[in-house]
């Protein structure tokens, strides 16, 4: 993800369907902030949310890993997909790849997914990526279900 992706990220994070379980669709400025945040994550952690695209280069969404304030700091596996690409397995494939990426690094014991109750599509992706319900937590002022996958299991 880079500054050149602003239009793509605005089409994703500004979409009311994609952002149904968030407070609001993001403005163009908020989308630039999202990109800036991810570029800081890349520099600090070596990862963040990455662009998902088809083999033909068609923009699908984003997926990756970011630190979130759950139980101190936990590594979240997050994803967003444009409505026209939802239900095609892109988020699941990307989530599995991100989980495998961090598992191979070997420096994190588990990943989480922070999911709003009722977000059945996100729940399906988390479960297909090997996460299961861990607990409930307040996140940004609202109750969420926290899914978790242990990475160091043999």
Q: What is the CATH number of the domain that holds 51?
A: 3.40.630.30
Confidence of residue 152 (pLDDT cuts 50, 70, 90): confident
CA distances from 136 to 65, 68, 81, 153 (A): 20, 14, 24, 23
In the predicted model, what is the mean pLDDT of residues 11-19? 98
Strand order in the sheet with 49-53: 49-53, 59-68, 74-81, 110-115, 142-150, 132-139
Residue 30's contacts (CB-CB under 8 Å, 6 or more residues apart) are: 13
Q: Return d(Cα 65, Cα 42) in angstroms, integer.
A: 10
Residue 96 lies in domain: 3-150
Q: What predicted TM-score, i.e. pTM, was given to this entire model?
A: 0.94
Helix (H) or strand (E) holding 5: none
Q: Is 138 helix (H, G, I), strand (E, B) or coil?
A: strand
Query: Is the pLDDT reported for residue 42 higher than 90?
Result: yes
CB 75 within 8 A of CB 44: no
- pLDDT one-digit tens code per residue, 53-106: 999 999 999 999 999 999 999 999 999 999 999 999 999 999 999 999 999 999
The residue among 22, 21, 49, 55 whose CA lies nearest residue 36 is: 49
**How many folded domains does the chain comprise?**
1
Q: pLDDT exceeding 70 applies to what percent of the chain?
A: 99
pLDDT of residue 153: 62
Percent of the chain with pLDDT over 90: 97
pLDDT at position 154 is 46
């Amino acid at each position: 993800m880079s500054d050149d992706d602003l239009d793509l990220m605005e089409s994703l994070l500004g979409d009311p369907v994609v952002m149904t379980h968030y407070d609001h669709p993001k403005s163009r400025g908020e989308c630039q902030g999202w990109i800036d945040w991810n570029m800081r994550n890349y520099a600090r952690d070596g990862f963040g949310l990455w662009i998902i695209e088809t083999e033909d280069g068609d923009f699908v969404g984003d997926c990756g890993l970011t630190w979130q304030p759950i139980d101190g700091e936990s590594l979240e596996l997050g994803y967003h997909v444009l409505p026209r690409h939802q239900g095609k397995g892109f988020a699941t494939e990307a989530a599995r790849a991100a989980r495998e990426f961090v598992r191979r690094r070997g420096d994190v014991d588990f990943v989480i997914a922070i999911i709003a109750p009722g977000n059945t599509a996100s729940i399906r992706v988390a479960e297909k990526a090997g996460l299961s319900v861990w607990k409930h937590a307040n996140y940004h002022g609202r109750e969420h279900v926290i899914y978790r996958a242990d990475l160091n299991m043999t």
